[in-house]
């Protein structure tokens, strides 16, 4: 029996076998190239949204939601990633989501008739510090580990509170997008990861699940040294299974495919610089080894980023359509 996109995604996220493998991306940055205009209208960006009247703002948000629903229907996505509309600091100022975002989510739910899952970013753990902060973070771990843990708890509490508001706004899926790993491995040793990140990631995931949300933990890079800890946090899914860091979906499926849904592993660098044969081979490999037994969502190892030839993204979608059925 044919499933709705929502049913298909839930089946995969709960490691069941749907009618066919669902697809989505954390972000889709090729809307202008493939459909004629960007997903986020410039009139709604900070600096310009403030100049709109209430009526103009509502009309633009409505049009944005309508276009978003159209694009993702054409792409056949089962999960739609929402963008933040309105003042991004509104939460810090008032402890609420921007009303523009709540309105956008409501319109999008109406346009999709509740037949897809809506997603938004929801992480609140430490991620790889940038170059300016790396030394300071290392010193803090050495000099004040208790303080680092206290801050980690505050960050987790903030994320949990915000995620509850996302749930109330109609967000079904939390995309937990703090990056932990380089191509060579995690930025913290496994022991440090267990002290400074893992307990707080676990709290965020469990709180989301208690509210009925699905959780997808994303991190690029070589996750293998901390794969067991990520799985212990009990997310519904892991993303991106980065092949550029040597992560092999066949091996990850063997190790933890009975415990967590897998998302991704299609080689983004090959989609940018490789041959068409390279791209097809990567997509076929992911589908071949991610598919058995269910619990796989087809997507790239990062996102279809701006500058990627749209023909390459369409190429992997064609492979997916050819191989997706169970």
In whole angstroms, what is the distance from residue 99 CA to residue 93 CA?
A: 13
Q: What is the DSSP letter of 16?
A: -
Band (pLDDT 50/70/90 cuts) for residue 88 is: confident
pLDDT above 70 covers a percentage of the chain that reads: 100
pLDDT of residue 311: 97
Q: In what order do the strands lie in the sheet with 214-218?
A: 79-81, 117-121, 173-176, 214-218, 237-240, 261-264, 296-297
pLDDT of residue 265: 98
pLDDT in tens, 112-142: 999 999 999 999 999 999 988 999 999 999 9
More confident residue, 132 or 326: 326
Band (pLDDT 50/70/90 cuts) for residue 199 is: very high
> How many Cβ atoms are within 10 Å of 282's Cβ, its own excluded?
23
Residue indicated by tokens 């170059």: 131
pLDDT of residue 131: 85
Which tokens go with 223?
């996750």
Q: Residue 19 contacts by C-beta under 8 Å, 6 or more apart in sequence?
A: 1, 2, 3, 8, 325, 326
Torsion over CA: 306, 167, 258, 296 (sign): negative
pLDDT of residue 35: 98
pLDDT of residue 3: 98
In whole angstroms, what is the distance from residue 148 CA to residue 197 CA?
A: 10
Interval 70-74 mean pLDDT: 98
pLDDT of residue 266: 98
pLDDT of residue 281: 98
Band (pLDDT 50/70/90 cuts) for residue 253 is: very high
Domains of the chain (ranges, CATH numbers)? 5-323 (3.20.20.210)
List residues bridging with 182 in a β-sheet. 185
CB-hemisphere CA count at 13 Å for 186? 23
Residue closest to 268 by CA, chosen among 204, 315, 203, 324: 315
Interval 78-98 mean pLDDT: 93
The CA-based angle 9-186-128, given to 5 degrees, is: 85
Is the pLDDT reported for residue 92 higher than 90? no
Interval 224-229 mean pLDDT: 98
Q: What is the DSSP letter of 2?
A: P
Residue indicated by tokens 């499933």: 3
- Label residue 131 exposed, middle or buried (CB < 10 Å: 0-12, 13-18, 19+): exposed
Q: Do residues 225 and 186 lie in contact, with contact meaning Cβ atoms separated by under 8 Å? A: yes
In whole angstroms, what is the distance from residue 316 CA to residue 57 CA?
A: 36
Is the pLDDT reported for residue 256 higher than 90? yes
Torsion over CA: 14, 175, 87, 55 (sign): negative
Mean predicted lDDT score pLDDT of the chain: 97
In whole angstroms, what is the distance from residue 268 CA to residue 302 CA?
A: 7
pLDDT of residue 1: 82
Residue closest to 40 by CA, chosen among 58, 63, 59, 20: 63
Torsion over CA: 106, 111, 116, 122 (sign): negative
In whole angstroms, what is the distance from residue 177 CA to residue 258 CA?
A: 23
Is the pLDDT reported for residue 169 higher than 90? yes
pLDDT in tens, 265-316: 999 999 999 999 999 999 999 999 999 999 999 999 999 999 999 999 999 9
Q: Is the peptide bond before 240 cis (omega within 30 degrees of 0)?
A: yes
pLDDT in tens, 21-53: 999 999 999 999 999 999 999 999 998 999 999
Is the pLDDT reported for residue 100 higher than 90? yes
Residue closest to 202 by CA, chosen among 123, 118, 138: 123
| CA-to-CA separations, 185 to 20, 53, 95, 145, 177, in angstroms, rounded | 33, 49, 36, 22, 17
Q: Please state the pTM of the whole predicted model.
A: 0.98
Q: What is the DSSP letter of 195?
A: H
Name the packing angle between helices 276-290 and 249-256 (round to 10°): 10
């Amino acid at each position: 029996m044919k499933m709705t996109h929502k049913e298909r995604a839930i089946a995969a996220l709960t490691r069941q076998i749907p009618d066919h493998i669902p697809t989505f991306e954390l972000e889709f940055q090729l809307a202008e190239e493939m459909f004629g205009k960007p997903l986020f209208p410039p009139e709604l960006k900070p600096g310009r949204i403030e100049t709109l009247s209430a009526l103009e703002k509502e009309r633009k948000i409505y049009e944005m939601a309508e276009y978003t629903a159209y694009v993702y229907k054409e792409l056949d996505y089962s999960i739609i990633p929402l963008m933040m509309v309105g003042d991004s600091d509104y939460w810090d100022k008032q402890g609420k989501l921007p009303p523009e975002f709540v309105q956008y989510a409501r319109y999008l739910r109406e346009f999709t008739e509740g037949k897809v899952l809506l997603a938004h970013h929801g992480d609140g753990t430490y991620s790889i510090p940038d170059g300016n902060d790396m030394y300071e973070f290392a010193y803090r771990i050495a000099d004040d580990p208790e303080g680092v843990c206290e801050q980690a708890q505050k960050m987790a509490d903030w994320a949990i509170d915000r995620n509850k508001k996302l749930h109330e706004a109609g967000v079904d899926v939390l995309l937990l997008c703090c990056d932990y790993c380089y191509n060579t491995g995690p930025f913290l040793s496994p022991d440090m990861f267990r002290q400074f990140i893992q307990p707080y990631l676990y709290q965020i995931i469990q709180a989301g699940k208690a509210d009925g949300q699905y959780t997808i933990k994303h991190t690029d890079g070589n996750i293998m040294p901390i794969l067991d800890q990520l799985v212990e946090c009990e997310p519904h899914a892991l993303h991106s299974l980065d092949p550029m860091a040597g992560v092999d979906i066949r091996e990850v499926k063997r190790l933890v495919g009975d415990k967590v849904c897998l998302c991704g592993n299609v080689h983004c660098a090959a989609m940018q610089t490789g041959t068409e044969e390279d791209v097809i081979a990567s997509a076929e490999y992911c589908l071949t080894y991610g598919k058995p037994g269910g619990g796989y969502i087809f997507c790239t190892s990062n996102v279809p980023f701006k500058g990627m030839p749209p023909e390459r993204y369409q190429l992997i979608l064609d492979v997916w359509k050819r191989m997706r059925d169970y």
